Structure 1
Amino acid sequence: MSIMVPPPLLLLLLPPLLAVLLPGDSCRAADIPEDITAEFSVRLYQRLQARGDQGNIVFSPLSVALALGMVELGARGDSRDEIRRAVGFSQLLPGTEFSLLQNLTSALSEDEAHYVVRFANSLYLQEGVSFSPEFVHLMRKFFRAKVETVDFNKSAAVAEQINHWVENHTESKIRELLSADDFNSLTRLALVNAVYFRGSWKNQFRPENTRTFSFSRDDGSEVQTLMMYQQADFYYGEFSDGSQEAGGVYQVLEMPYEGEDMSMMIILPRQEVPLASLEPIIKAPLLEEWANNVKRQKVEVYLPKFKVEQRIDLKEVLQELGVGNIFTNNADLSGMTDGKDLFVSKVVQKAYLEVTEEGAEGAAGSGMIALTRTLVLYPQVMADHPFFFVIRNQRTGSILFMGRVMTPEVVEPIDDFDSI
């Protein structure tokens, strides 16, 4: 007797400067929707941090939420309910989350004069498989998805097609995401969501002030990196959780990009305190507390240039967060097709983020000069040891990127500046 194996839905999430792949505040304007996925974002980070890997972390919470939203559009029953609970949509009337995601992406991408946030969605369907016209219609309505039919049996050609699409929508930052091995004769559908961000600091760092500097890692070792420097007005605050869990007082620096809707928040423990001591206290309400309580003042900032790139298998993480049904034979994705024989087989996110003197994704060359320590008249943020970061939209609260820098870009020392 032969056993029928349900065909999987290959789901790859890959944000940029990001891309998300699904194959297989304070002053918010009244007309701007508020993102309600902050708790989901933090829980995702904590699950990644709990894996015990001591490396850099970077991912796009908004990209994950968008990807799951597209799956939820075709999910029913427990499959849909689990996604709603995990992402934070349970507090909304059923179905209204799709309009929320639509409005959020529109609000974030409307101001290209100051920064660039682009969303692009594609839906690849297996030739000869009957998909619900209503599902395809709603994908176009809420996610502006481009719909194409492909033959997943020609796995190499499909991988090349999708890789080309992803590369085009991430300014070539995400390359060769997929291979022929990611598809097989059971693949029926590929959902692709690309999210791209490029921003320039409102107060840019001067390249001539960038110099080599020692960065102390939490394992006690040191590496040489390129450290940017400037003294300017930023949003700054010092916080404590009232116990020694986070190592006492820690610093929060918010650096706006042009237009001030987008900003990067740096959370820095004391020099002698490992970042792992601070990470457990990070919660969604704390993100809002930081944003609402930092004050604009002159700050001396030392920030390493860094480039973080990571490919994350999210299947296990999502299962730990309560999204498990869609990965089993019990998955109900009948909103996509008439049958109930689809399930999600794979969830991968690949993220890339580069921070330079110009801002995010810039590539300015740097001169080298010696800096002399002067009498500190202003608060000083010396990010010469591991730190946590968030790139968020202040109007909506949407988190485009979240992660940590345990080791920045390593460079070979050019000169002994300390002797100058």
Structure 2
Amino acid sequence: MLLLVVLPPLLLLRGCFCQASDVPEDVTAEFSVRLYHQLQISSGEENIIFSPLSVALALGMVELGARGSSLQEIRQAVGYSHFREDEEFSLLRNLSQALSTDEEQYVVRLANSLFLQSGVHFNEDFLQLMKKYFRAEVETVDFSQSTAVAERINSWVLNHTESKIQNLVSAEDFSSSTMIMLVNAVYFRGSWKNQFRPENTRTFSFTRDDGSEVQTLMMYQQGDFYYGEFSDGTTEAGGVYQVLEMLYEGEDMSMMIVLPRQEVPLASLEPIIKAPLLEEWANNVKRQKVEVYLPRFKVEQKIDLRESLQQLGIRSIFSKDADLSAMTAQMTDGQDLFIGKAVQKAYLEVTEEGAEGAAGSGMIALTRTLVLYPQVMADHPFFFIIRNRKTGSILFMGRVMNPELIDPFDNNFDM
């Protein structure tokens, strides 16, 4: 039998986050960074966008139904092994409650759903705990009707991501052996605390790591941001690199941009990225005036997580040695139930102030003057994270190797 796990997070990056208080610290930063490095290996020179929080929530749902080595592998890989048994479920519930909000300034939605094969008797305790810790909706379907099931699940994802995540699954993903599907959706929309003025956006050359140049729309502003310059003490990362933290309204959420020097490929910087370094950046950036050049960009990526999670030590749940016996009461042992698929699809859009659509025509060209303040010129590949500053939760992590391109011969955009 097959257990299909699908994790579709979404980020529509325009702004801010929630007011969180009295929530435990998220402990999954090390797992997030290790997963990023695995995705980096398989992504070549492409953009990366994924949601560590979404993966942690989905694995938490699997863990709720796991036993034996299947349970321990998840706990070890994600960073829960020092917790008392089951303590991580309360942590995930509290984090989800703290992060979720639906205000005029910003929207954060976390949603979970279980799609169960009709006619199979699932463990009632498992279903109740899924509702208790993950507020999961439960729906029965007939997976043998694969086209109808795919449409139903894709519709659920669309509804929970404001139609940004489309066609997450297809009929080919299901068969008569599919027993259960767990879906997690993350959606975020908000506004920058310091918004970019659209009239300052202009065409700009972005130099990719292979030395080629492409034309993109570059936003600009001079304002108060958290900024720091760091070095790993060696030449591996190209010496000094810049870290810029840009807040969203509410100030609980921020986007942190890590930029190597112009002549240094991002690949030279990526190996030094570790969980303690994320905290070091957050603790040591200082508020000051900074000139910021940041490209508008839109990234969408579908990732097959199975191989990456296996490389991180989560192996047995993907094999016939899986023990997911806590999920169903019908089978004498749960070793016939295993994870057949783990995918995530994420969407990220960064604009001046949150409005979708192209910037207006007749844009004003920027003039270079004497630089009085630190300057962050993101005209070459950079790494980024979107994190909650109170809990440390990383909603999104990735890199921009290729920004959104524009036609250099479009007369609406003056050089």
The secondary structure found in structure 2 opposite 1:81 is helix
Equivalent position of 1:381 in the other structure: 376
Asked if the contact 1:358/1:364 (under 8 Å) is kept, the reply is: no
Q: After the TM superposition, which residues 7-156 of structure 1 pair with which residues of structure 2 at under 5 Å, given as runs?
A: 7-17=1-11, 31-51=22-42, 53-110=44-101, 112-156=103-147
Distance 1:196 1:355 in 2: 14
Distance 2:287 2:47 in 1: 29
One-letter identity of the residue aligned with 1:165? W
1:76–1:112 Cα change, 3 Å: same
Distance 2:359 2:225 in 1: 24
Q: Compute the TM-score of the two structures, normalised by the length of structure 2.
A: 0.94
Q: How many residues align?
A: 402
One-letter identity of the residue aligned with 1:344? I
**Structure 1, unpaired ranges of 5+:** 1-6, 19-27
How far off is 1:199 after superposition? Answer: 1.8
Deviating above 6 A after TM superposition, structure 1's stretches of 4 or more consecutive aligned residues are none
How far off is 1:369 after superposition? Answer: 1.6
Distance 1:280 1:404 in 2: 13
1:355 aligns with 2:350: yes
One-letter identity of the residue aligned with 1:303? L
One-letter identity of the residue aligned with 1:8? L
Give per-residue Cα distances to partners, 1:256-293, cap 9 Å, x unaligned: 00000000000000000000000000000000000000
How far off is 1:362 after superposition? Answer: 4.4
Q: Compute the TM-score of the two structures, normalised by the length of structure 1.
A: 0.93
The secondary structure found in structure 2 opposite 1:43 is helix
Give per-residue Cα distances to partners, 1:305-349, cap 9 Å, x unaligned: 000111111100000000000011110001101221210001111
Distance 2:23 2:155 in 1: 33
The secondary structure found in structure 2 opposite 1:67 is helix
The secondary structure found in structure 2 opposite 1:12 is strand
The secondary structure found in structure 2 opposite 1:400 is strand
Asked if the contact 2:201/2:359 (under 8 Å) is kept, the reply is: no
One-letter identity of the residue aligned with 1:377? L
Distance 2:45 2:90 in 1: 38
Distance 2:353 2:43 in 1: 33
How far off is 1:154 after superposition? Answer: 0.6
Share of identical aligned residues, percent? Answer: 74
Give per-residue Cα distances to partners, 1:2-47, cap 9 Å, x unaligned: xxxxx010112221128xxxxxxxxx98712110000000000011
Equivalent position of 1:3 in the other structure: none
The secondary structure found in structure 2 opposite 1:63 is helix
Asked if the contact 2:20/2:98 (under 8 Å) is kept, the reply is: no
**Structure 2, unpaired ranges of 5+:** 13-18
Distance 1:103 1:114 in 2: 22
Q: After the TM superposition, which residues 15-414 of structure 1 pair with which residues of structure 2 at under 5 Å, given as runs?
A: 15-17=9-11, 31-51=22-42, 53-110=44-101, 112-338=103-329, 339=331, 340=334, 341-359=336-354, 362-363=356-357, 365-367=359-361, 368-413=363-408, 414=410
How far off is 1:115 after superposition? Answer: 2.3
Distance 1:62 1:324 in 2: 20
One-letter identity of the residue aligned with 1:355? V
One-letter identity of the residue aligned with 1:71? V
One-letter identity of the residue aligned with 2:158? E
RMSD: 1.5
User: Which deviates more, 345-354 or 30-39?
Assistant: 30-39
Distance 1:299 1:144 in 2: 42
